[in-house]
Chain A
Amino acid sequence: MHGIAFDVAHLLAGCLVLVSFLMLYQDRLYSLLNTYALHATVLFLSVAWQAYIQNAPDLYVTAGIALVFKAIIIPVALHRMIVKLGIHREIETVVGTGPTMLAGMGLVGLSLVVMLHAAAGANLMAREDLAFALAVILLGLLIMVTRRNAVSQVVGFMSLENGLILAAAGAKGMPLVVEMSVAFSILIAFIVIGIFLFRIRERFDTVDLQALDRFRGERQ
């Protein structure tokens, strides 16, 4: 099993986890978006490699969707949105970088332990792919939890979705219909979120989500 196919798949999936950590580390909006584009590019490479070794041509479509939509269109659109919103570009994090990174390490460890036991019966490649995918999903959630800015929460959500695609690609592919609908629902979610961002901005003069908490009369 320790052939070049396994090694490259492992390398790319590991890189995806690493780029998730890089996203967690960023404190500027633009660099966060660039890292997200890198994340999607690594996902493209990873899915394309899975398509190659599994001989599954429909996975190439998934990879193409990842490259075109997630690595190019969404980051560019978010760039424009930030310019239009005119928000300042430093991300206010809820806790410092150090504790966040430690929490991220804990989550990665947790997902590896869980997956290695839960999927003990599956073959080695699928199992490690699932473990990495769970790590990417949990890191995406962590990005959403630790950021206050709505735009960076959107980016966290998108990286979470990248983890789902990685899991689906590793588990012998998924039907093309499902993939297409997921891709379009992501796109629609993105558009809706974009509209909401502008509405929030109009209403509260900020995209800091704490303003919403205050509006609802919760604690400061």
Chain B
Amino acid sequence: MELIRDLVVQGAQMLLVVLLAPLVTGVVRKLKSRLLRRQGPSVLQPYRDLLRLIRKDVVLADNASWLFRSAPYLIFSTTWVAAALVPTFATGLMFSWSADLIAIVALLGSARFFLALAGMDVGTSFGGIGSSREMMIAALAEPVMIMIVFVLALLAGSTQLSTIAAYMVSPAVGLRVTLGMAFVSLLMVGIAETGRIPVDNPATHLELTMVHEAMVLEYSGRHLAVLELAGSLKLLLYLSLIACLFLPWGLTLPDASAWMYGIGLAAYIAKILTGCGALALFETAIAKMRVFRIPTFLGAALMLGLLGTLLLFVSRGF
């Protein structure tokens, strides 16, 4: 009985992230259009786009290898597994023993690796530009992410997400400047990793600025649909990660009643919607950075993480 319930919760969570991901993209787009006083497409538009892309034929370049064809599925599956490991509305998940922050970073890293390879596979110049830029951002963002993991692990004594979330809800956490720094640092990394505005513009096809779009330029049909879904999933993953780590209130703890699961789900939806609103507001207020400014941006994030770790040592007194 226990096992069945755990399986149901885990399965519901996996389905939930996939179903919700295009909606998150749609909501962010809609809010951004409304902030610019445009009507904007319906929030359901990403679903329609995905359906249309799946029905269309795939156009492959002559020299595309097997890697080009299999990469979208690899990227989608690794991103999906990573997204399913993040506790969204309940912590006591079937796979929570494997829901390790380092594992999630590694899964996202391998997805990015395949995406960069696929971008270079056909041999067009845009794909190469996109891949090299993506690798530059990755090389800068990964240390920051590891630094944040380090801070959280020092505090909670574990890198497991459910343990960290349980620690964050407990009163033992107190008021800490380190956590504030880690939070800001995670926001900056999230923006860089999901390709949002100051780092990359998700809505552009201008060759000077695009990063993610340049890599998927050669894809069409169902491959493109899968990649778009993976992109939305990554955005949702970061939103859930931030919500789970730094705003864990309302998260359902293990062995709770069905009523509690309802509350957890409602809280999760509210948190994600708030996150979408904040993201849309931020993206509307800020301009895209030059590519060469990105190291400074991520350097500041790294500095925050490092400073947070140092301050943590003072408060613990070694």
Contact = CB atoms under 8 A, between A and B. Distances in A.
Chain A residues touching B, majority SS:
helix
Nearest to B177: A14
Contacts of A4: 174-175
Interface in B172-195: 174-178, 180-181
A127 B317 contact: yes
Interface string A96-132: 0110010001001100100010000000100110011
A59 B171 CA distance: 31
Contact of B175 (A8, A101, A131, A132): A8
Interface residues of A, number: 25
B317 A116 contact: yes
Max chain A Cβ within 10 angstroms of own Cβ: one of B177, B296, B306, B314: B314
Nearest to B181: A18
Nearest to A11: B177
A202 interface: no
Contacts of A131: 314
Contacts of A15: 177
Interface in A126-157: 127-128, 131-132
Contact of A14 (B178, B295, B317, B318): B178
A90 interface: no
Contacts of B317: 116, 124, 127-128
A8 B175 CA distance: 7
A112 B314 contact: yes
B7 interface: no
Contact of B174 (A7, A97, A109): A7
Chain B residues touching A, majority SS:
helix
A131 B300 CA distance: 22
B35 interface: no
Given A97-B296, A105-B307, A108-B307, A116 B174 contact: no
Contacts of A101: 299, 303
A11 B314 CA distance: 12
Max chain B Cβ within 10 angstroms of own Cβ: one of A18, A21, A132: A18
A43 to B, nearest CB: 15
B303 A10 contact: no
Interface in B90-105: none
B307 A17 contact: yes
A33 to B, nearest CB: 20
A135 to B, nearest CB: 9
Contacts of A105: 303, 306-307, 310
A2 B295 CA distance: 37
A101 B299 CA distance: 9
Contact of A2 (B174, B178, B300): B174
Given A10-B176, A14-B178, A116 B318 contact: yes
Contacts of A11: 175-177, 180
Interface in B289-309: 295-296, 299-300, 303-304, 306-307
Contacts of B318: 116
B278 to A, nearest CB: 22
B73 interface: no
B310 A109 contact: yes
Given A101-B303, A105-B307, A108-B307, A128 B175 contact: no
A127 B303 CA distance: 23
Contacts of A108: 307, 310
A180 to B, nearest CB: 31
Contact of A116 (B175, B296, B314): B314
A25 interface: yes
Max chain A Cβ within 10 angstroms of own Cβ: one of B180, B303, B318: B303
B296 to A, nearest CB: 7
A57 B96 CA distance: 52
Contacts of A25: 300
Given A11-B177, A116-B318, A98 B310 contact: no
B287 interface: no
Given A14-B181, A17-B311, A109-B310, 16 more contacts: A2-B174, A4-B174, A4-B175, A8-B175, A11-B175, A14-B311, A18-B181, A18-B307, A21-B303, A25-B300, A98-B296, A105-B306, A112-B313, A112-B314, A116-B317, A128-B314
What are the 10 tightest A-B residue pairs by CB atom distance, in nearest-first order? Answer: A14-B177, A7-B175, A11-B177, A128-B314, A7-B174, A14-B311, A131-B314, A105-B306, A101-B303, A10-B315
Interface of A: 2, 4, 7-8, 10-11, 14-15, 17-18, 21, 25, 97-98, 101, 105, 108-109, 112, 116, 124, 127-128, 131-132
Interface of B: 174-178, 180-181, 295-296, 299-300, 303-304, 306-307, 310-311, 313-315, 317-318
17 contacts: A2-B174, A7-B175, A10-B311, A11-B177, A17-B307, A18-B181, A21-B303, A97-B299, A105-B307, A108-B307, A112-B313, A112-B314, A116-B317, A127-B317, A128-B314, A128-B315, A131-B314
